[in-house]
Every structure is written in structure tokens, then in C-alpha cells.
Structure 1
């Protein structure tokens, strides 16, 4: 939890911290990668962040906004199902079921915006209902 707070603060405020100074730079083009549905590049970027900063996607997910949307919502809006499914599978059920900035969970937003039956939406529902 503490890593998540620090990572979100670093991303949101652009804070320079020893060892974390390049986190913003490392995540700079993640929105483009998701929009282009480049699962391979997304995987590389997430691995680099995990290796360099010991952070999982759930630790920095809240600090990233792409056109005022979270990464998974952004993937759904851009029909980027390979990237979207990969992110869904990379996050914990707890992180996926948390309300986002607008008070809606990803699932609620996807249902309200017609994305629940996309491949990413189906992966989300499956992940949330997994035992």
C-alpha cells in the first residue's frame, strides 16, 4: 500500500525522488502503447517498471490518466483488447473492483458505456468472478 501511495504521488506530482526520478519518463508513452494495442511493448514497459522500481501495475495504475481515463478504460475506448486483457490479468481483483476517480468501478463504467461485452470487458468480468 505504501508503494502505491508513493508511486501515485511521484506520477501525479512529478516528484523527483532518489531512485524514482525516471519513473515518469519510463511511463511517459504508456497511453500511446495502450491506444496502439501493443501488448508486447506494454509487457516490456511493465517489466521494466517492475524490475527498476519493484512496482506492479496496481501500484501505479491510479496515477496514470490517458485523456482523463484510466488505462483499462482507455484500452476499452480504443478497442485495444490485447493490451486491455493483459492489464486486467496483471491486476488484483481488489484493484479492479475499486471505484475510480468518478466513483464508478471499471465494470460499472464498462457496462454504462457499452464495453462490457468486448474482449477486455469479458476478461474483466471473468477476473472479478474468479475463485
Structure 2
């Protein structure tokens, strides 16, 4: 069973560029559930389509969405979803990847050798 947690404070008002997108709490829960479903199913194309439709950037909502009490990247590693996991790594700034603890979580939970963990290492080496 898939559980999700969305911080409505983070997802409810998503700022990017010069625009501000206001998402209602019900829409935030729907977005979080969809994102978790896409990650679990390794469905990068549907995630990209949803983000484009809602005019959101992953970096804006990443910290506000948890799937089974894991970040989206952690959930991707736990679900074996390497395609979407490496996609998310490519969409997030290296500074955010370095500070969010996903690599440390991967190493502590047996996912340190995964493609996603390797992608995080490559992005944060600079």
C-alpha cells in the first residue's frame, strides 16, 4: 500500500521564476499521490507531463513530497525505479542534492551501489 505525505505549506505555494503558482490543499495531495505513483511505477514521461501541465519544477516541490516517509529519490531507490530516479537527480540542483541526505540514506539502507546513488555522487562531486 502506498502512503504519501505532502507538506501543503511547501506544495501550496510554489514559487518559480517570476511567477507564483498557488495550489489548493486538495490539489497538493493529488499532486503528491501522483508523483509517488509515477516514481513507484518508474514512469518518467507521466511525471514530466504532469509537471509541465501544472507548470511546476521538480526543485520547487521536491522537499514537500514524501512517499512512505521517504523523499522521492529515496522512494525511487527503494522501489528499484532507476530511470525516474536518475531523471530527478538531473533536475535538482547539486546543492540541494548535497544537503537533502538522499545519498547518506542510500548508503545506510543498502542502495549505495544503485544507479541513482551513483548519479547523485556524479552531480555533487564538483
TM-score, normalization by structure 1: 0.74
Matches within 5 A, 1:6-25: 8=10, 10=12, 19-21=22-24, 23-24=27-28, 25=30
Larger mean CA deviation between 21-30 and 62-71 belongs to 21-30
Structure 1: tracts of 5 or more residues without a match: 12-17, 100-104
What is the match of residue 87 of structure 2? 86
Alpha-carbon distance in structure 1 between the residues aligned to 2:50 and 2:68: 20
How many Å separate the matches in 2 of 1:38 and 1:125?
A: 23
Contact 1:7/1:59 (<8 A) preserved: no
> Contact between 1:7 and 1:60, CA under 8 Å: does it hold in 2?
no
Q: Which runs of 5+ in 2 are unaligned?
A: 1-6, 14-20
State the Cα RMSD in Å: 2.4
The separation in 1 between residues aligned to 2:84 and 2:112, in whole angstroms, is: 16
Residue 116 of structure 1, CA deviation: 1.8
Per-residue displacement from partner, 1:11-63 (whole Å, max 9, x unpaired)? 8xxxxxx84227413443110110010111112122223x2xxx421211111
Contact 1:76-1:84 at 8 Å conserved across structures: yes
For residue 35 of structure 1, the aligned residue among 40, 43, 54 is 40
Q: How many pairs does the alignment contain?
A: 111
TM-score after normalising by structure 2: 0.76
Between Structure 1 and Structure 2, which shows a larger proportion of strand residues? 2
Q: Per the alignment, in what secondary structure is the counterpart of residue 65 of structure 1?
A: strand
Divergent runs of 4+, >4 A: none
Tell which has more relative contact order, 1 or 2 (C-alpha 8 A, sep 6+): 2
